[in-house]
């Protein structure tokens, strides 16, 4: 690593540290070791991303807090990939007045498949990190970015759908609505506050790492000695030594 890189990273005006993750062209030619470390950085990003996804699987992704005069402490609803926690019973009970379906009936398929989905995303992400060649390496970001996005879209779909399929025979008739997914909303006497929870942020962090990995990866591939022969599969599997290819 160059002396420049060993020194404490400079802070930009905004106070953030801007790391130079990929070596510049001049550095690339001067330091072969640094080049390999960059390869490892890609692997670390990929593995860390998958790890974060795995942890996020066990953590709540979204939280709703509902305040009403008679609930001064508020009611909580925490959504995770496999289910929901908090005051589900009480919220269901209140929802029956406006004819909303039980929360547990929502997204059943998604919740059953979530485990396989996370596993698949992990495997695909790792495979892309290790195996994908120059032509496929950008695909690395797809499953990772899709993971939190699909969750968001799917949650929105269910919120919309439950807010628009109110039982017309319910005691209280209210206009169809979509519960707020971000920030504050109001349903009847309830002030609602929705925000992402740890799981979601972990997944976002995981996705960011995957994106960083992909960006670094493309630099790595661009400077790779086997760039000419590389196609769908990385001939060095990212980390193998840069030895000549045997005939």
Partner 1 sequence: MRSHTIAASLILAGGVVCAAFVGCENQHEAQEKKAAAGNLGASASLADLMKARNLNESDVEAALKTYVPTGKMDEYYIFASGGQSGNVDVIGVPSMRMLKVIGVFTPESWQGYGYGGDSDKVLESGNQGAFGWPGAPHKIRWADMHHPNLSETKGDYDGQFLFVNDKANARVAVVDLADFSTKQIVANPLAASDHGGAFVTPNTDYVIETSQYPAPLGREYAPLSQYKEKYRGVAIFWKFDRTKGRIDPAQSWALELPPYTQDLADAGKLDSDGWAFINSFNTEMAIGGTIDGKPPIESGSSQNDMDYLHVINWKKAESLVAAGKAKIIAGMRVLTMDVSAPEGVLSLIGEPKSPHGCDVTPDGKAIVVGGKLDTHATIYDVAKIKALVEAKKYEGKDAYGVGILPFKDSIQGQVEVGLGPLHTVFDDKGNAFTSVFIESVVAKWSYKDFKQPVEKLKVHYNIGHILSAEGDTVSPDGKYLVAMNKMSMDRFLPVGPLYPQNFQLVDLTGEKMRLIADMPIGNAEPHYSQMIKADKLKPLKVYKPGTNSVTMSVDPNHAEGGKERIVRNGNKVEVFMTAIRSHFTPDQIEVDEGDDVTIHITSLETAEDQTHGFTIDMYNLNVSLEPGKNENISFKADMPGTFPMYCTEFCSALHLEMTGYFLVKPKKK
Using the rule CB under 8 A, which residue among 31, 197, 218, 225 binds partner 1? 197
Which residues lie below 8 Å from residue 29, measured CB to CB, with a gap of 6+? none
Which residues on adjacent β-strands are paired with residue 185?
Answer: 192
Which residues lie below 8 Å from residue 229, measured CB to CB, with a gap of 6+? 235, 245
Retrieve residue 161's tokens: 């759908």
- Residue 41 or residue 68: which is nearer to partner 1 going by CB? 68
- What's the CA gap between 75 and 79, in Å, rounded? 13
Binding of residue 170 to partner 1 (CB under 8 A) = yes
Least distance to partner 1 from the beta carbon of 160, Å?
20
Binding of residue 134 to partner 1 (CB under 8 A) = no
Retrieve residue 133's tokens: 């060649």
Retrieve residue 151's tokens: 């969750």
- Residue 177 or residue 193: which is nearer to partner 1 going by CB? 193
Using the rule CB under 8 A, which residue among 102, 191, 208, 219 binds partner 1? 191
Binding of residue 183 to partner 1 (CB under 8 A) = yes
- Residue 32 or residue 169: which is nearer to partner 1 going by CB? 169
Binding of residue 182 to partner 1 (CB under 8 A) = yes
Size of the residue set binding partner 1 (CB under 8 A): 25
Binding of residue 195 to partner 1 (CB under 8 A) = yes
- Residue 49 or residue 63: which is nearer to partner 1 going by CB? 63
- Residue 98 or residue 136: which is nearer to partner 1 going by CB? 98
Binding of residue 184 to partner 1 (CB under 8 A) = yes
Q: Which of 61, 207, 196 is nearest to 146 (CA)?
A: 207
Rounded to a whole number of angstroms, the distance between the first and last alpha carbons of the chain is 33
* Helix H or strand E segment including 44: helix 32-57
**55-74: contacts with partner 1 (CB under 8 A):** 65, 67-70, 72-74
Torsion angle (degrees, nearest 10) of CA 232, 238, 244, 246 = -60
- What's the CA gap between 238 and 131, in Å, rounded? 7
Residues that bind partner 1 (CB under 8 A): 65, 67-70, 72-74, 167, 169-173, 182-184, 188-189, 191, 193, 195-197, 201
């Amino acid at each position: 690593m160059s002396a420049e890189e060993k020194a404490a990273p400079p802070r930009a005006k905004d106070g953030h540290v801007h790391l130079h993750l990929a070596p510049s062209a001049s550095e690339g030619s001067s330091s072969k070791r640094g080049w390999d470390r960059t390869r490892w950085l890609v692997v670390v990003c990929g593995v860390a991303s998958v790890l974060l996804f795995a942890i996020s699987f066990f953590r709540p992704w979204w939280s709703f807090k509902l305040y009403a005069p008679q609930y001064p402490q508020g009611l909580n609803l925490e959504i995770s990939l496999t289910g929901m926690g908090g005051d589900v019973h009480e919220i269901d009970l209140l929802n029956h007045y406006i004819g909303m379906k039980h929360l547990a009936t929502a997204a059943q398929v998604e919740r059953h498949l979530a485990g396989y989905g996370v596993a698949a995303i992990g495997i695909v992400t790792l495979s892309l990190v290790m195996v994908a060649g120059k032509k496929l390496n950008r695909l690395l970001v797809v499953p990772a970015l899709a993971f939190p996005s699909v969750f968001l879209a799917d949650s929105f779909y269910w919120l919309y759908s439950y807010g628009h399929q109110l039982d017309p025979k319910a005691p209280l008739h209210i206009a169809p609505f979509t519960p707020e997914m971000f920030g504050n909303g109001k349903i009847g006497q309830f002030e609602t506050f929705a925000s992402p929870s740890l799981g979601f942020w972990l997944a976002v962090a995981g996705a960011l790492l995957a994106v960083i990995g992909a960006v670094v990866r493309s630099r790595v591939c661009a400077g790779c000695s086997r760039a000419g022969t590389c196609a769908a599969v990385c001939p060095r599997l990212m980390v193998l030594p840069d030895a000549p290819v045997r005939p």
